[in-house]
Amino acid sequence: MSAKVIIGAQWGDEGKAKIIDILSEQSDVVVRSQGGNNAGHTVTVNGEVYKFHLVPSGILYPGTTCVVGNGVVIDPKGILEEIALLHNKGISTENLRISLRAHIVMPYHKTLDGIKEEYRGNSDIGTTKKGIGPCYMDKAERSGIRMCDYLNPEIFEAKVRENVELKNSIIKNVYNGDVQFDADQVLEEYRGYLKQLEPYFADTTVIVYDAIKEGKKVLFEGAQGTLLDIDLGTYPYVTSSHPVTGGVCVGAGVGPTLIDDCIGVMKGYVTRVGKGPFPTELFDEMGEQIRNVGHEFGTTTGRPRRTGWFDAVIGKFAVRTSGLTAIALNKIDVLADIDKVKICVAYKKDGALVKEFPASLEDLAKCEPVYEEMDGWGDITNIRSYSELPETAKAYVKRVEELCGAKVTMVGVGPNRDQNIYVD
Ligand code: GDP
Ligand code: IMO
Ligand code: MG
């Protein structure tokens, strides 16, 4: 039995998809269990770049079953566009399976996402405006529409009509907005999309359970990251799902006893898109250098990502809250040619040392990073074995491991599939 969970251990974009892609080669099933097309997962194969939002990154391997689980919120139009792009590149989606229990992102969710952000003004979250929050709101409020509803035409029609009426009223009367939806049009458009998706529908909990029980290799592809978790992240500057490993159990419908390993993906520095406190953020030329060398611009929105030094307080928090058994440390090649690389080992707040990631955003905003400096390294993009890494880079990897409390088993030295070093 081998079931591995891969999650983001920072604020997302840690290079999860690259790790999934590498591990997919030996996997039978790859499963997404939360989030939606707010995710942007990049895989580079022989210089060709693939960007995934809803389809699991494992689709590049013909024998791999790719599951979009019940905890994912699916924009039907978005996933169809992704499928079409893959088909254009000659990649089959024959092995794609979509959960009957997954909630559908409807057009009014996207409109409401935008309206709510505007309404928040300066306190906006900086969402991807993909309708993720409003869709999860409907799910929690018990008025959402699921894939299985499409298979019952009367139920589907009733739910769409009821939602459109209510959302129109909210847009107009609460937000003074002028967008109004026509239920007939929405029904026609979404029936069209869902008809095309129907061949992929399945009870995905059965697929995942059977695969694990049959001793197949199953990978769970996390989206977003620990600090974007609605419970454990920097609330309210978070997404509306559970990117921590615990989210996989609910979002894929598997019990925790069926999971063997939990790998947290980190970058050798930290980035975040959207708003909210970020203790190690760099506002100087060093921040700019990391952004440019690391190509830190959003896969989904194209926004420049905020950059900062590696934060071990966050790393330790991720190891603890997700029970991480290993760390994949990506992008340390981006730190090449920096004389002294900094690692944040704790925070200082009102003169006192803070060693654990605070719950309160106001406290976090007051935290000043306490840094340790380490000697840097040069170009490592052509190195393929751990023993060949410069001693300074190895010392950095070991320090990350010590401070975070889990073994670093993989080190990323470039975006390509082969630019990954297994640590002895
Ligand atoms: P994800 O959302 O966690 O899958 O990450 P993204 O795809 O949004 O962003 C990670 C970016 O870093 C992508 O452009 C990857 O191709 C790239 N990348 C991943 N690992 C490495 C690495 O070790 N070094 C470098 N230079 N780039 C990497
Ligand atoms: P991957 O899977 C980085 C951020 C948004 C915003 C907040 C809420 O590629 O790592 P939402 O649209 O989810 O309501 O936005 O979460 N966010 C991400 N940041 N990587 C992601 O996904 C993200 N998905 C959402 O920028 O700050
Ligand atoms: Mg991303």
Among 10, 38, 42, which residue has the most ligand 1 atoms within 8 Å of its CB, making it the best to mutate?
Answer: 42
**Token reading at 277:** 């406190």
Residue 1, pLDDT above cutoff 70: no
Note if 41 is an active site residue.
yes
Which of the listed residues 57, 124, 228 should we mutate to test ligand 2's pocket, taking the one with most ligand atoms within 8 A of CB? 228
Are 40 and 53 spatial neighbours (Cβ–Cβ below 8 Å)? Answer: yes
Report pLDDT digits (tens) over 257-270: 999 999 999 999 99
Distance 180 CA to ligand 3 centre (A): 32
Q: Determine the pLDDT at residue 188.
A: 98
pLDDT at 300: 78
User: Among the atoms of ligand 1, which is closest to the Cα of residue 298?
Assistant: 8
What integer is the mean pLDDT of 109-114? 98
Q: How many CB atoms lie within 10 A of CB 159?
A: 20
DSSP 98-131: EETTPEEPPHHHHHHHHHHHHHHGGG------SS
Summarize the confidence of residues 13-42 as an average pLDDT.
96
Give burial (CB, 10 Å; 0-12/13-18/19+) of 336. middle
Q: Which of 68, 273, 297 to mutate to test the pocket of ligand 2 (most atoms within 8 A of CB)?
A: 273
How sure is the predictor about 299, in pLDDT bands with cuts at 50, 70 and 90? Answer: confident
* Position 101 pLDDT exceeds 60: yes
Place 356 in a pLDDT band, splitting at 50, 70 and 90: very high
Residues near ligand 2 (Cβ within 6 A): 8, 12-13, 38-41, 125-128, 130, 132-133, 223-225, 228, 239-240, 273-274, 299
Measured distance CA(134)–CA(259) in Å, rounded: 30
Q: What is the mean pLDDT of the chain?
A: 97
**188: Cα within 13 Å, side-chain hemisphere:** 5
In 3D space, the residue among 1, 10, 2 whose CA is nearest the CA of residue 296 turns out to be: 10
User: 300 or 105: which carries more pLDDT confidence?
Assistant: 105
CA distance 13 to 11: 7
CB 279 within 8 A of CB 234: no
Residue scoring higher pLDDT (45 or 368): 368
pLDDT value of position 312 = 98
Please, which pLDDT band fits residue 132 given cuts at 50, 70 and 90?
A: very high
What's the CA gap between 358 and 365, in Å, rounded?
10
Q: For ligand 2, atom 20, which residue shows the shortest CA distance?
A: 12
Average pLDDT over every residue of 99-113: 98
Of all atoms in ligand 2, which is nearest to the CA of residue 303?
A: 26
* Closest ligand to the CA of 18: 1
Q: Rounded to whole angstroms, what are the CA distances from 287 to 281, 293, 322?
A: 8, 10, 28
Ligand nearest, relative to CA of residue 224:
2
- Which of the ligands is closest to the CA of residue 105? 2
16-29 tens-digit pLDDT? 999 999 999 889 99
What Cα–Cα distance (Å) separates residue 21 from each residue in 10, 58, 219, 397? Answer: 19, 6, 10, 22
What is the percent of the chain with per-residue pLDDT over 90, rounded to a whole number?
96
Average pLDDT rounded to a whole number, residues 250-262: 97
What are 342-354's pLDDT values in tens digits?
999 999 999 999 9
The reported pLDDT for the residue numbered 301 is: 82
d(CA 342, CA 345) in angstroms, rounded, equals: 9
Look at 158-172, 289-303, 381-395 and tell me which has the smallest mean pLDDT: 289-303
